[in-house]
Structure 1
């Protein structure tokens, strides 16, 4: 089988012809179609925003529909057509394209242009080329606006596209499809490995904490005390001041423990605030979900840290990291659910927290459990770090290969 380079050498030895987009496709600008027009059934449609948030290079199915009377006023997209975006808040999303390869005619709305390509153009080839650095350079030259970036259909029509022979286009598509498939499969395998590690860690953590032989199950309120923090607002947050922990940071930023606060509040508030001493555990008393409420971080810093009024500071003779691990278990969450008030904002009181029981082995066993879980957690963090790096490497490899295949020597006219 001939390579793409061999085909190019044979079929266009003097280079590839570059043609303006307007000469190889009819450009039809969409109009209208707010998301409020979407229905569960009707005529399939693709909204311009979905092109850079949901779809890839090509699609055979849609995720949205509009009523027939609405569809009649919109731009028609036939099988083999391409939809390309004209407008977005950033340049990367402008000029994103999806080739429609479904069996039915669908529609699209405003801020998008339908490209009805000529028979000499493979739709997927052109959609792939719109991902190349060459096209990014061309659309950047034609872009207008600052807050909202726009590249009009008229300006898109002037972009020069490399047009190798159709059989070469199809071989390029075949190669890129295969590479994209391999990249997706590898990403799925790595993600599955990550999920398996996390499930294994959760199982091991719960078994280690809950399966401690000879441990008494005691109410948190019987082994320690809870003190609510004091209020501070976003306006009180400063770059440098009193170290502080906000309730939202407990489930968005911190892990099981920390020895450094990520935010600070004004020093003028010093006497008005309440603090967690080193060795305390800070619980979130408020959250958007039941899962977030009751999450905790062990404070291991060298100085007191100010705590928000939607947090509770737990002080006890227990190992603080052991407590923070124990309140991550399924058993803790099962008990917690009985005490969470389920309004729009989920809340958990100090009394509710105090009523929850955890296994309390002796201090030496607590320390051993913490040491073991710290080691296991480090392994999980390693794969969390390695996975994005590996996926990024594979994506960069794919993009390099794609860009090489879509770069041509231009024929001298």
Structure 2
């Protein structure tokens, strides 16, 4: 018998609405003038990031929070420090029957339900009675001490997965900063150190012919449109190695795809195809990712870059070191790129797996019979 089976073996469960075992407390509003970055207690209102800090607290540490107004209404949070709850943040009063972290993990599983009950007219708002009516499982209700012990054991298991995911996320953030540092160092050249060319001198630049509505969910070929996530299509336009970016839309000048093989292309997306032997296509990719947005910010007549035209690509300056130096640079940056962005290997894959593992055990541990 597994540890989980032993933990939950023969456990009777009583279901109570949250309002039957505790209270949903609404906070009190503070003005922005009352907040400061150098005061002690975080203030929560309309989101899980502190709005600011205040000299007093009105809620104790280890409390469950539920945001009740704004775009984040219905989001469940947990504070391990004393804090100030504003009127845009409900908190759940501590109960002798519930371990607060156990309640937090359970309510995370109800978050989609809470968000679906947010009133959308005007300012999005979640009403307290919606929360109060949520059924909460209480294991071993006839033995409060054992009930809390079981809840604590469940919390301990889920905390382990949460902490591992947090550690991996922190590691990913550190590696991204390291990647950006090395990329800047490797792709910076002193004046006269290397030959400079324009992108138009070393690459072909063109667009596609399709529109977004041409996409087919299960198409045979990848279809690069204007969004961050590629689509699918049943036909392809090109069979090559190229760098793809949108000419307008979300992430213009910031999102680049590395395309290898057959693909289709949107009429407002650009393909950059390096076509001279003295330059590595992958080197061009890394240099564009690192420098293109700052270039178009400087050359754009508008205060915000909303679209790009072919001349902007053609005139983009790019340094051309010796091919063996390009190969060295690519080798280093590819390792960082894989570590920080790949969903099939590297830290993003590890984080995704740990999140799946956490969600699996959360559902397993918090799914109790309902008669």
1:74 match: none
Greater shift, 317-326 or 365-374, is seen at: 365-374
Q: Residues 322 and 392 from structure 1, CA distance in 2 versus in 1: closer, same or farther, beyond 3 angstroms?
A: closer
Note the alpha carbon deviations across 1:241-271, whole angstroms, 9 max, x for none. Answer: 998643x34xx247xxxxxx84579x9xxxx
1:69 match: none
Find 2:351's aligned residue among 377, 380, 388: 388
Find 2:214's aligned residue among 237, 243, 249: 237
**CA-atom RMSD in angstroms:** 6.1
Normalised to the residue count of structure 1, the TM-score between the two structures is: 0.54
Give the 5 Å matches for 1:79-90: none
User: For residues 84 and 181 of structure 2, what CA distance do their matches in structure 1 show?
Assistant: 49
2:304 match: 344
**Structure 1 residue ranges without an equivalent (≥5):** 56-61, 66-76, 255-260, 268-274
Matched, 1:311 2:274: no
User: For residues 132 and 302 of structure 1, what CA distance do their matches in structure 2 show?
Assistant: 42
Q: Residues 164 and 340 from structure 1, CA distance in 2 versus in 1: closer, same or farther, beyond 3 angstroms?
A: farther
**Structure 2 residue ranges without an equivalent (≥5):** 36-40
Normalised to the residue count of structure 2, the TM-score between the two structures is: 0.58
Q: Residues 117 and 164 from structure 1, CA distance in 2 versus in 1: closer, same or farther, beyond 3 angstroms?
A: farther
Note the alpha carbon deviations across 1:169-223, whole angstroms, 9 max, x for none. Answer: 55456545554554343223222333344445555555556579x9832222572
Contact 2:97 2:144 in 1 (8 A): yes
SS in 1 for 2:299: coil
**Aligned pair count?**
343
Give the 5 Å matches for 1:8-407: 23-25=20-22, 39=32, 41=34, 50=47, 54=48, 63=51, 106=85, 108=87, 120-122=96-98, 124=100, 127-128=103-104, 130-131=106-107, 153=129, 156=132, 159=135, 161-162=137-138, 163=141, 165-168=143-146, 170-172=148-150, 174-175=152-153, 178-179=156-157, 181-202=159-180, 216-221=194-199, 223-224=201-202, 227=205, 229=207, 233-234=211-212, 236-239=213-216, 245-246=224-225, 248-249=226-227, 252-253=228-229, 262-263=232-233, 278-279=240-241, 281-286=243-248, 292-293=252-253, 296-297=256-257, 299-301=259-261, 306=265, 308-309=267-268, 311=270, 313=272, 316-318=275-277, 319=279, 321-328=281-288, 330=290, 335=295, 337-353=297-313, 354-362=315-323, 374=334, 377-378=337-338, 380=340, 381=342, 382-392=345-355, 394-396=357-359, 399=362, 402-403=365-366
